Amino acid sequence: MFTRSSGSPISVVTGSAGFLGSHLTDRLLAEGHRVIGIDNFITGNVANFSHLAGNGNFRFIKHDVSNFIYLPDDVDFVFHFASPASPIDYLEFPIQTLKVGSLGTHNTLGLAKDKGAGYLIASTSECYGDPLEHPQKESYWGNVNPVGPRGCYDEAKRFAEAMTMAYHRFHKVNTHIVRIFNTYGPRMRLRDGRVVPAFICQALTDKPLTVFGDGSQTRSFCYCTDLIDGIFRLSQSDYHEPVNIGNPREMTIKEFGEHIIQFTGTKSSFDFKPIPVDDPKVRRPDITLAKKLLGWEPRVSFEEGIAKTIEFFRGRIAAGDPVA
């Protein structure tokens, strides 16, 4: 059992076996925290924290946080990162996505309240839906279809934000909300379904890159360590409203694919498919608030980040991980 007697902060990370949850765990450990990781492996992978085996400052619990959470430990901070996060995941697990965004948020907020702990919820740029404002500021309320195929994820996160603010206002919990924009890097799943792993895996296996629509829709890609740095800074602040964390460098999907073709040296071409329902046409964060409040902005160049990501995927493919 972790107690405050040693003086080191104790953090709970839900979704700790996931892409971002595992990177956050590493950052917290590097900052001197002891970490209790929680995950039910619906989309997480034990390989993402296998390097922590034997680390006395990390303990893992297999649990679905949509159910009541009991911890005998002292807790100083709760980071709620558990949720399916890619379209193929929340289309396959719509009920679980809604439950972890609602019940899971309620349970983790209850844990923070009970322990007198700080709290940070991993929200998403999907709260803006298919935006009518560009770039997206935190003050924008969004353009979301609540009954569309993406609604289970979008509305789960919007509800999670509302619940988080209610606990802050009514119970005085020290809460924080980060709206995460497109992020990439090592530990993404090969069959994640999002554009970065899809394009890289297709390129490395000389298959056509699948582009939905004409590829003119835009995205902004932030490298994972930059994102985690912004999240850690936000967790240490006294700000409670949502904050965008992402990279404002914007490119079309087709331009991104052209970069992947160039960096991998593949002979792949493009395979154009019908665009999915409610697929956002544009996505770029306004990070003015993060710069002013946290002194944060992304530092890893796209060229450096994508090279590291391609190297990771190349290694996983060579190791025999399935790509389709």
Average pLDDT, integer, range 227-250: 98
List, by residue number, the catalytic residues. 153
Residue 220 forms beta bridges with which residues? 250
In the chain, % of residues over pLDDT 70: 100
Query: Of 184, 192, 187, which is closest to residue 227 (Cα–Cα)?
Result: 184
* CA distances (Å), origin 31, targets 11, 139, 322: 11, 32, 35
CA distance 188 to 19: 5
Find where tokens 């001197």 sit.
Answer: 32
Amino acid at 127: C
CA distance 306 to 204: 13
Q: What is the mean pLDDT of the chain?
A: 96
Supply the pLDDT for residue 180: 98
CA distance 272 to 99: 34
* CA distances (Å), origin 175, targets 118, 128, 302: 6, 21, 31
> What is the per-residue pLDDT across 43-76, written as a single tens digit (0 to 9) for each?
999 999 999 999 999 999 999 999 999 999 999 9
CA distance 212 to 205: 19
Supply the pLDDT for residue 89: 93
Supply the pLDDT for residue 87: 86
Question: What domains appear along the chain, each with residue ranges and CATH number?
Answer: 4-183+224-245 (3.40.50.720), 185-219+249-283+300-318 (3.90.25.10)
**DSSP assignment of 226-277, as one string?**
HHHHHHHHHHTSS--SEEEES---EEEHHHHHHHHHHHHT----EEEEPPPT
In the chain, % of residues over pLDDT 90: 93
Cβ neighbors of 298 (< 8 A, separation 6 or more) are: 222, 223, 226, 246, 247, 249
CA distance 290 to 296: 6
Query: Of 99, 238, 124, which is closest to residue 175 (Cα–Cα)?
Result: 238
Supply the pLDDT for residue 324: 64
Supply the pLDDT for residue 191: 86
* DSSP E strand boundaries for 5-55: 10-14, 34-39
pLDDT of 110 > 80? The answer is: yes
CA distance 107 to 309: 34
Q: Indicate the pTM of the whole model.
A: 0.97
Greatest mean pLDDT range, 83-92, 152-161, 274-283? 152-161
pLDDT of 323 > 80? The answer is: no
